[in-house]
Structure 1
Amino acid sequence: MRIVDIARSAYTSTPAPIRRRLAPLVALVPRSLKYGPAFERWRRDIKRSEVEPAFAVDRAQSQLQALLTKASAGSAFWRNLLGAAAFATFELEALASVPITTKQMMREAGDAARVDALPALIQATTSGSNAEAPFEFLIDADRSVREFAFVTTAWGRAGYRPGDARAVLRGFRLDDANASHQWDPALGELRLAVFPLGPAEAAAMADEIERRRVSYIHGYPSAIELFARHLNNAGRRLAHPVRGIFPISEPVFAHQRDLFAKVFQQAEVVPFYGMSEKVAFAVERRGEPGVYTFEPLYGLAELVDDAGQPVATPGAEGRLLGTGFISTGMPFIRYDTGDRARLVEAATRENGWRLTVRDIAPRRKPDFLIAGDGGKIVATDLVPEDVTLLRGLAEWQFAQGSPGVATLRFVPAANGGASNAERLANALERRTDGRLRFNIEQVASITSGAHGKRAFIIQNIAG
């Protein structure tokens, strides 16, 4: 029932006043109807693909063949780019012969890259990165339940079942600007305000999580960290245990994992990697922080070097490409995501065509500072192993405008102050062997971006 698939996407994008009126009615719809039969079929196939590599390969290959044929038949742009490859009997290994596409190519192609009629599509936009303008494109109006099938299957590792309530910390605009939370009964979401998020707001959120017996927290790691830090500073532990932490959109740092383990002792952290363009989806391996395995039914992920050749040596770095199967009305084929990663295991028929990588470096924000000698000092090197160095700091962030010098912005905790920030800055200078000098700046709050994210590093060095 494609109408059911479209309905979920339509509800989530409906203006707030209308959504408020619809929510009580949507909440009464049984799960089997709310998500539709396509959702259940996808979940079954995803789980089967995890244990049957041959099934995963056959399914990925048939989806690739269908995508190439559809793209070439529906668009002169794709027909010219793909040539005869679109109509050949296509093996997965032959994908490497297809030209790589870039964001600039897709931007210039515009509507010429579309293969489905406009009523079947909706507009999407990336948030942009640094000096780069946002990228506008089209995605399938009915893709939401397909995508949600992958997300909920990943979350199932922590015991989550579709329909279970989640506390969500992302950039929501609540109806009451002074409220700390808002309940959406249709989606089972307890929406929590990301900004402001002080001790009083965190206490009110915790009360509501306990009252509704919510077992899962979903959102930006930086926001979940701040919530957890306030609870920890107050010595509070939730009476109803949290079973899963579902971080999105930002890297998860070691100090955040340590804090989550301390405050939410029964929770499993389940990060996944995805993109607005819907070309690739990967889930972090259990027990291996920072190692992600891609789902071949969602799309085909590749790791190539700067010359466009497949990366074959474990540990070698490359560019992530994606060919998406979830949204095909404006196809993305061998699309350069702009992200980089290091190879752990190449995709093969034996492993179900699952690429595994580590150290994904996202395109949006450069998670590094520039040392005086021009070298990069990555974000993970700026997180102290001794967490006692963070005492007295409620929030902290780095900003840089010139090489060799960075500013440590901090919000003091109740009993903290400049001396705590100076202690951390001095420790980081020693840790970087003097390649970076840190100034400190006390601020009232760490500013959130337009979508409620708190960047760990604000990098303002041109280029």
Structure 2
Amino acid sequence: MPTSMKFGKTYARERARIARAASDPHFAHEQHLSALRALLAKAHQGSAFYRDRLDEALGPAFDMSTFTLADLRRLPILDKDQLRAAGEAALVVPRWQLDSVETSGSNRAAPLSFFLDKDRSPREMAFVYDAWSRVGFTERDARASLRGFHLGDGGSGIHEWDPALRELKLAVFPMTAQDVAAYLDEIDRRQIRFLYGYPSAIELLCRRMQQIERRPRLAIKGILPISEPLYDHQRSLIRRVLGDVAFGVFYGLSEKVAFAAEVPGSDGLYEFNPLYGVAELVDENGTPVTEPGREGRVVGTGFLSTGMPFIRYDTGDFGTLVEAPTPGNGERLRIRGLAPRRKPGFLISFDGHRVVALDLTPEDPAFFKGIAEYQFYQDTPGDVVIRYILDQNGSASDVERLSAFLAEKCRGSLAFRQEAVSQIVAGRGGKRAFIDQRLDITQY
């Protein structure tokens, strides 16, 4: 059944709105402002927690139908601790109408429990499929999926075909060379042209393809990464193995407060969708970042799920301003260097400073010759362990080469040592973390 039929009229209506807003900035601005006013009115009427916050900032007689984007900046920024303290007082509808959700937590922060509208999925998928359409993926295309599925024991349990989703599910563990040969047989048999899943798993799939010197019979058209940051060295490796494939990258949050898609042809440039919510970039004082090239943290006000509103919610993510939202550009914030709060790309130096691991990692896949998998591990400032698995042609000298490159580049702020392992540690759902960081990042 086509995706448009599975998700129904709501999905079709949202896809049409998204398409119109992309070509009509005035329509995007009007829809953006209308959704914001409706959200504020709903929050004020239905939640004692939000009513108190809004009345304190705007005055109890404020008319929400006249609310503007400038007024939004008068409201305080909301953090997780305040939401935890508010509990169900932040709800604007009865609890039974909502789904209970919990974030996994990050940087040793406690998970956040919250609630989402039960009917959010069709609207959510409209934005996801719109982002994927930018690389040619349609509702009729099949995809190979690497998301840590548990597919059963033994035999052909390493892969499974889902005809309803037109999805070939591939187990990310153990993903041996023999497994990948079987995966490629299935990809060829089903004429699949798109790969979907964790970037770490797609990277490993490509490394295994190099190892067995085999590629899909039909050229892969696009990569649809989810859930993890996509690093430059991963893009380089994937393109080296599969050719100049397009990446359908999007940014989203469990709390449904903001959604951004990567601009086609501009790796690392994200554009936030105004129909999904209001995305702001603010400095450490909560002041809007207006100067291109300056970094700020992402604050979101979501329109997708409104039973528990998130109004000026501090996501904990960071980015660098490229273009501020205006009525003329359809209220589309553009940023680079989007750094997610989860699984941060930081190592801690001897003197207690953060080192961005991506700044150390070479983009050229040649630096990783002979290394099938690797991961940085740290539990002591300044001391970093490179956990690695060699491929069939690799040797200890390959790891020494990478280690020497990193040591020289960080100029003594970090010391690297090597540790051969049989398996790279993975988290929930089969994600292979680029950094297994055991230090409390918030203390540095």
1:314 paired with 2:292, answer yes
TM-score normalised according to structure 1 size? 0.91
Cα distance in structure 1, aligned partners of 2:63 and 2:74:
11
Cα distance in structure 2, aligned partners of 1:41 and 1:266:
33
Match of 2:378 among 393, 400, 423: 400
For the 8 Å contact 2:2–2:139, the answer to whether it is kept is no
Cα distance in structure 2, aligned partners of 1:31 and 1:306:
42
Q: Which residue of 1 aligns with 2:320?
A: 342
Q: Which residue of 2 aligns with 1:370?
A: 348
TM-score normalised according to structure 2 size? 0.94
Match of 1:89 among 43, 49, 66: 66
Q: Structure 1 32/370 Cα, relative in aligned 2: closer, same or farther at 3 Å?
A: closer
* 1:64-104 alpha-carbon deviations (Å, 9 max, x no partner): 01111111111111111112457251122221112211111
Matches within 5 A, 1:142-161: 142-161=119-138
Cα distance in structure 2, aligned partners of 1:416 and 1:86:
68
1:32 Cα shift?
A: 4.4
Q: Which residue of 1 aligns with 2:228?
A: 250
Q: Which residue of 2 aligns with 1:102?
A: 79
Runs of 5+ unmatched residues, structure 2: none
Q: Secondary structure at the match of 1:210?
A: helix
Letter matched to residue 284 of structure 2: D
1:67 paired with 2:67, answer no
Matches within 5 A, 1:116-135: 116-135=93-112
1:36 paired with 2:16, answer no
1:30 Cα shift?
A: 5.2
* 1:275-330 alpha-carbon deviations (Å, 9 max, x no partner): 00000000111222221110000111001111111011111111110011111111
For the 8 Å contact 1:418–1:442, the answer to whether it is kept is no
Q: Comparing 300-309 with 162-171, which one deviates more in the overlay?
A: 162-171
Match of 1:194 among 172, 193, 196: 172
Letter matched to residue 32 of structure 2: A
Q: Secondary structure at the match of 1:35?
A: helix
Letter matched to residue 6 of structure 2: K
Letter matched to residue 146 of structure 1: R
* 1:236-278 alpha-carbon deviations (Å, 9 max, x no partner): 1110221110111222112211122122225211111000000
For the 8 Å contact 1:246–1:270, the answer to whether it is kept is yes
Match of 1:446 among 406, 413, 424: 424
Q: Secondary structure at the match of 2:72?
A: helix
Cα distance in structure 2, aligned partners of 1:195 and 1:313:
45
1:335 Cα shift?
A: 0.4
Q: Structure 1 31/131 Cα, relative in aligned 2: closer, same or farther at 3 Å?
A: closer
Cα distance in structure 2, aligned partners of 1:32 and 1:385:
39
Letter matched to residue 216 of structure 2: L
Q: Which residue of 2 aligns with 1:226?
A: 204
For the 8 Å contact 1:195–1:448, the answer to whether it is kept is no
For the 8 Å contact 1:340–1:361, the answer to whether it is kept is yes
Cα distance in structure 1, aligned partners of 2:53 and 2:221:
47
Letter matched to residue 307 of structure 1: N
Q: Which residue of 2 aligns with 1:424?
A: 402
Q: Which residue of 2 aligns with 1:236?
A: 214
Cα distance in structure 2, aligned partners of 1:32 and 1:58:
26
Cα distance in structure 2, aligned partners of 1:99 and 1:89:
19
* 1:398-437 alpha-carbon deviations (Å, 9 max, x no partner): 0112222210110111121322111110111111122211
Match of 1:260 among 215, 222, 238: 238
Cα distance in structure 2, aligned partners of 1:234 and 1:30:
35
Q: Structure 1 109/285 Cα, relative in aligned 2: closer, same or farther at 3 Å?
A: same
Q: Which residue of 1 aligns with 2:273?
A: 295
Match of 2:411 among 404, 409, 433: 433
Q: Which residue of 2 aligns with 1:11?
A: none
For the 8 Å contact 1:98–1:334, the answer to whether it is kept is yes
For the 8 Å contact 1:229–1:394, the answer to whether it is kept is yes
Q: Secondary structure at the match of 2:86?
A: helix
Q: Which residue of 1 aligns with 2:25?
A: 53
Match of 2:250 among 272, 283, 286: 272
Letter matched to residue 204 of structure 1: A
Cα distance in structure 1, aligned partners of 2:247 and 2:241:
12
Cα distance in structure 2, aligned partners of 1:208 and 1:273:
30
Q: Structure 1 32/429 Cα, relative in aligned 2: closer, same or farther at 3 Å?
A: closer
Percentage identity across paired residues of the two chains: 51
Q: Secondary structure at the match of 2:73?
A: helix
Q: Which residue of 1 aligns with 2:264?
A: 286
Q: Structure 1 32/423 Cα, relative in aligned 2: closer, same or farther at 3 Å?
A: closer
Cα distance in structure 2, aligned partners of 1:221 and 1:301:
25
Q: Secondary structure at the match of 2:50?
A: helix
Cα distance in structure 1, aligned partners of 2:304 and 2:344:
28
1:386 Cα shift?
A: 4.0
Runs of 5+ unmatched residues, structure 1: 1-28
1:326 paired with 2:300, answer no
Cα distance in structure 2, aligned partners of 1:78 and 1:129:
26
For the 8 Å contact 1:210–1:239, the answer to whether it is kept is yes
